[in-house]
Amino acid sequence: MQKLQVGILYGGRSVEHAVSVNSAKNIFEYIDTTRFEAVPFGLDETGRWFRTTKVDKNIKEGSPAELGLNPGDPRIIFADTDIKLDVVFPLLHGTDGEDGSIQGLLQAISIPCVGSGVLGSALSMNKIIAKQLMQQSGLPVGKFVYFTKAEREKIQYNNLVKELGLPFMTKAASLGSSVGINKVNTEADFHTAVEEAFQYDDEILFEEFITAREIECAILGNSPPMASLPGEIVINKKYDFYTFDAKYVDPDAVRIDVPAKLDKAVAAEIQALAVKAFQTLRCLDYARVDIFLTAQNKIYINEINTIPGFTNSSMFPMMWKERGISFTDLISKLIDMTLERHKNSVNVSRSFQSNLKY
């Protein structure tokens, strides 16, 4: 049986470039080679595409690649040959990868793409829009205030303290991996945090600080989506919150409990809310929902990640491994459900007969 050609996209022009490389390395290593031919493509920091022999940070050492933009016969083109991909597995965390950009490109040329499409990716990536939609759907979210860069003069420290209390959090609206996020305890913290957030985005989000346990729940599938048992990230007390270094650099920063030590009723409620968040934001195939759980067992949905990490310390694969799904089987499931979903989408009519003259 001929193997399916699976494009693995990684890197990209995002502050999460390095995280993306590490996630893609695991997909490349654990993909079922009896069924799939992994074809890695690295995007450098400027967004240029390179075919690489393996997933590696030295992306520019690969062969420059271009897209053939024919929806009937889309191809990746090189100087001396081209490749037709059966499906693409994007591991492009953050900007231009998790925000619907690459999903729209692949959709336009009819290449199946693992994970959420344009709508779900865009809605989930923007923390402001995501919180507004979840709030309107009756999902529990913490108090928040937001501004655009054009409204910068309206951002007043004292007003935020009245609205959110102290401390509070500042976040760039459309980033992940805790980049552009700060905890504000003083007015000096506030000015520094605003500068940093606007360095990465044109929108800034301010949130109340919730003293709570860091809970995560993995979602898999579409009709209907399934929720894993929740896991917990127990953060070393030397960290004020779950920072980038705590996530990816310091091996002693966290302890991961999979599953989390939770009352069964609380765990079930978290699973139900995570699935509702996934559906509310029109996500597809898989995602990780990040949740706060207070000492009084009050649940808040923090955010949803449509391309969760696949690094060695990532919760998404860990939570499914606990459910008996190996890393290799998880990758296969994601590819299979993507191909099935794409097959069904072909039946949607894109033509309309009318009397309009043109």
Whether residues 25 and 81 fall in one domain: yes
| pLDDT at residue 254, as a whole number | 76
Whether residues 189 and 69 fall in one domain: no
Whether residues 93 and 150 fall in one domain: no
What are the strands of the beta sheet with 181-184, ordered from one edge? 144-148, 203-208, 168-172, 181-184
Q: What is the DSSP letter of 13?
A: S
Domain boundary among the residues 72, 94, 113 is at 113
Whether residues 224 and 202 fall in one domain: no
Whether residues 55 and 172 fall in one domain: no
Residues 6+ apart with CB under 8 A from 333: 220, 325
Whether residues 193 and 223 fall in one domain: no
Please give, one letter per residue, the 3-state secondary structure of 58-125. Answer: CHHHCEECEEECCCCCCEEECCCCEECCCEEEECCCCCCCCCCHHHHHHHHCCCCECCCCHHHHHHHH
Domain containing residue 257: CATH number: 3.30.470.20
Q: Using CA atoms, how far apart are residues 216 and 193, in angstroms rounded to an integer?
A: 26
Q: What one-character-per-residue DSSP string does 279-305 give? A: HHTT--SEEEEEEEE-TT--EEEEEEE
Whether residues 22 and 65 fall in one domain: yes
Domain boundary among the residues 91, 113, 135 is at 113
Whether residues 107 and 180 fall in one domain: no
Q: List the chain pLDDT tens, one digit each, 358 residues.
A: 799 999 999 999 887 888 899 999 999 999 999 999 999 999 999 989 999 999 999 999 998 988 877 777 777 777 667 888 999 999 998 788 899 999 999 998 889 999 999 999 999 999 999 999 999 999 999 999 999 999 999 999 999 999 999 999 999 888 655 566 899 999 999 999 999 888 888 899 999 999 999 999 999 999 899 999 999 998 777 666 666 655 556 667 778 999 999 999 999 999 999 999 999 999 999 999 999 999 999 999 999 999 998 887 789 999 999 999 999 999 999 999 999 999 887 665 566 666 767 7
Q: Using CA atoms, how far apart are residues 182 and 206, in angstroms rounded to an integer?
A: 10
Would you say residue 352 lies in a domain?
no
Give the residues across from 217 on adjacent strands.
289
User: Which residue segment(s) compose the domain that 54 sits in?
Assistant: 4-113
| pLDDT at residue 251, as a whole number | 63
| pLDDT at residue 245, as a whole number | 59
Which active-site residues does the annotation give? 16, 177, 248, 288, 290, 303, 305, 309
CB 39 within 8 A of CB 5: yes
Would you say residue 251 lies in a domain?
yes
Q: Using CA atoms, how far apart are residues 177 and 192, in angstroms rounded to an integer?
A: 19
HSE of 1, CA atoms in CB hemisphere, 13 A: 8
Burial class (CB in 10 A: 0-12, 13-18, 19+), 25: buried
CB 10 within 8 A of CB 91: yes
How many domains does the structure of the chain reveal? 3
Would you say residue 168 lies in a domain?
yes
Whether residues 229 and 326 fall in one domain: yes
Domain containing residue 192: CATH number: 3.30.1490.20
| pLDDT at residue 244, as a whole number | 62
Whether residues 101 and 197 fall in one domain: no
Instruction: Report residue 222 as tokens.
Output: 């579409």
Whether residues 320 and 232 fall in one domain: yes
